[in-house]
Amino acid sequence: MTGSFSLANLLLGLALGGLALFLVRDSLGAGGSFLRTRRAAALLALFVEELVRSAWRVAVLVLSPRLVVRPGILAYPLTVDRDIEITLLANLITLTPGTLSVDVSDDRRTLFVHALDCADPERTVAEIRAAFERRILEALR
């Protein structure tokens, strides 16, 4: 709230986050909150792992003497179908270095993703599906 890292601000942020979750609990579904919390923590841990891994890949790519990139936009077929799931997936992709969510199709079945290195789009789609999308479904359903 004040921009400084202190125990009071941390506790206030925890309380406000808990209040926000309490207010939207019906839209997320009731029951299984402990299991859902564990799965959400696993999703967060996965995101941090992917963040570090992607940052390393981008750093190696950018610092290599011969900059060989194959950027492109790929069509990612969505398994998630609820607004919160699509938004969370798009944000996790955007926050990961080297990828950017560009648009969602009108029928909400395809997410268009710009990748810095799109040499193997099938592998990129498989990585997103195996990591983020599966964990999002586990955490929110």
Quote the pLDDT of residue 115. 92
Residue range(s) defining the domain that contains residue 82: 32-140
Q: Tell me which residue has tokens 């997320």.
A: 28
- Its pTM stands at 0.73
- The answer on pLDDT for 138 being more than 70 is yes
Residues 3 and 71 in one domain: no
Among 54, 40, 32, 30, which Cα is nearest to 88's? Answer: 40
Domain count, the chain: 2
Express each pLDDT in 46-94 by its tens digit.
999 999 999 998 999 888 888 888 899 999 999 998 999 999 999 999 9
Give the pLDDT score at 29: 61
Same domain, 136 and 89: yes
Residues 6 and 54 in one domain: no
Which burial class, exposed, middle or buried, applies to 121 when counting CB atoms under 10 A from its CB (0-12, 13-18, 19+)?
A: middle
- HEC string of 55-103 equals HHHHHHHHHCCCCCCCCEEEEEECCCCCHHHHHHHHHHHHHCCCEEEEE
pLDDT for 18-55, tens place per residue?
A: 888 777 776 666 555 666 778 888 899 999 999 999 99
